[in-house]
Structure 1
Amino acid sequence: MFKILLVCALAALVAANENAEVKELVNEVNPDGFKTVVSLSDGSASQASGDVHGNIDGVFEWVSPEGVHVRVAYKADENGYQPSSDLLPVAPPIPEAILKSLAWIEAHPSKE
């Protein structure tokens, strides 16, 4: 199933950039995991590697229509999909009053 999704993602990347030429294309599937690399002449690229346990590390990048270089690195494992990028929104810090309330609740558990 994952191979089908990977092929679809690669096809979508190439189709979205129909004027771009493929500079590098690597698809290795081994008994202990896989490695895939796609690099296009317009600066779009995708790299991923995974192991037999379903853990995947990867990165994809492109240049937006505004000229901004977008890069997203990710890890997918037992903790789910974990993207990281300077362009992703960040949650605000937890207010001090909430932190104090959580500490009080932890120190005074329910009797049930």
Structure 2
Amino acid sequence: MFSRLLVCAGLLAVVLGAALPADDPIPILSQSSDIQPDGSFQWNYESGDGTKQEQTAVLKQVGNVTVPVLQGSASWTDSEGVAHQVSYVADENGYQPQGSDLPVAPEIPPAIAKALEWIAAHPPPPES
């Protein structure tokens, strides 16, 4: 589970890094990092082009397993001057991103919604 979360965070960093022009180095204006012995951590940075990213993690007991709960955000401006922001939580329920750039599923058509309601109201008889 923790490795999946790290992969997601790494992919986000790669995507943000790929959007940057490779010509001029971009200065880091501020950064901080704090790693605790229990495995919790916090880090953030802001670069000269306005890119910001931050992430925190705390450990949570779920049953008899300890899982990391990550929370973070990233914001940047693309080459066309459009600002983007993504925030996310990654915990025992998986990776849950939020942002206006993320796709949204279409509404369920009324006929299918009605069929689903009927199915829920009329469960199949138990098998004998």
TM-score scaled by length of structure 2: 0.73
- Cα offset for 1:40? 0.3
Instruction: Give the corresponding residue for 2:112.
Output: 98
2-side partners of 1:86 and 1:100: how far apart?
A: 30
Residues 65 and 110 (structure 1 numbering): CA distance in 2 closer, same or farther, change over 3 Å?
A: same
- Cα offset for 1:61? 1.2
**SS class of match (1:89):** coil
Instruction: Give the corresponding residue for 1:86.
Output: 100
The correspondence of residues 41-60 of structure 1 with structure 2, limited to 5 A, is: 41-52=48-59, 53-60=67-74
Letter of the 2:25 counterpart: N
1-side partners of 2:83 and 2:12: how far apart?
A: 19
- Residue by residue over 1:77-99, the C-alpha shift from the partner in whole angstroms, topping out at 9 and shown as x without a partner, is 11111111111111111111111
Q: 2:29 aligns with which of 1, 13, 23?
A: 23
1-side partners of 2:105 and 2:8: how far apart?
A: 30
TM-score scaled by length of structure 1: 0.82
1-side partners of 2:96 and 2:87: how far apart?
A: 8
Gaps of 5+ in 1: none
Instruction: Give the corresponding residue for 1:35.
Output: 42
Contact 1:73 1:83 in 2 (8 A): yes
Residues 5 and 36 (structure 1 numbering): CA distance in 2 closer, same or farther, change over 3 Å?
A: farther
When the two structures are aligned, how many residues end up with a matched partner? 111
What RMSD in Å do the two structures reach over aligned CA positions? 2.7
Gaps of 5+ in 2: 60-66
1-side partners of 2:13 and 2:85: how far apart?
A: 19
Instruction: Give the corresponding residue for 2:91.
Output: 77
2-side partners of 1:94 and 1:20: how far apart?
A: 45
1-side partners of 2:103 and 2:8: how far apart?
A: 26
Residues 55 and 34 (structure 1 numbering): CA distance in 2 closer, same or farther, change over 3 Å?
A: same
